[in-house]
Amino acid sequence: MTLYEDDALLVDEAGLTVKSYGRPGSQRAFSFEEIQGAELIDLEFGTGKYRLVGISPGRLRTFFHWDRARASKPVAISLNIGKRLRRAISPRDPHRVLEIIEAKLTAGR
């Protein structure tokens, strides 16, 4: 069952699927079991707002998925998947996605 979907992201009962991860059309899935935590991060000039994909100079430990629309978004979600490099996703409604992630993580503990 789909819990949330937009141009960049699909969230279902199993986890998150980033529709364009490293390049347009390349998908990457994160199960709720592998996500250890999530938080909102502000997007500003040096911290990922204008980064199409990859690591931003202001957030050297965060990988941003491919998103042409990120420049129009004020916040993203940083995912802790238990690795040194965090993953940032920028859904259209980050507050709703974070709410879903937190509910799933709480239910799984």
Q: What is the pLDDT of residues 30-82, one digit of tens each?
A: 999 999 999 999 999 988 998 889 998 888 999 999 999 999 999 999 999 99
Question: Would you say the C-alpha torsion 1, 20, 102, 6 has a positive or negative sign?
Answer: negative
Structural tokens at position 74: 């004020």
With H, G, I as helix, E, B as strand and everything else as coil, classify residue 17: strand
* CB-based contacts of 11, cutoff 8 Å, min separation 6: 2, 3, 4, 5, 17, 97, 100, 101
Could you give the strand order of the β-sheet that contains 28-31, starting from the edge strand earlier in sequence?
Answer: 2-5, 9-12, 15-18, 28-31
Assess whether pLDDT exceeds 80 at residue 104. Answer: yes
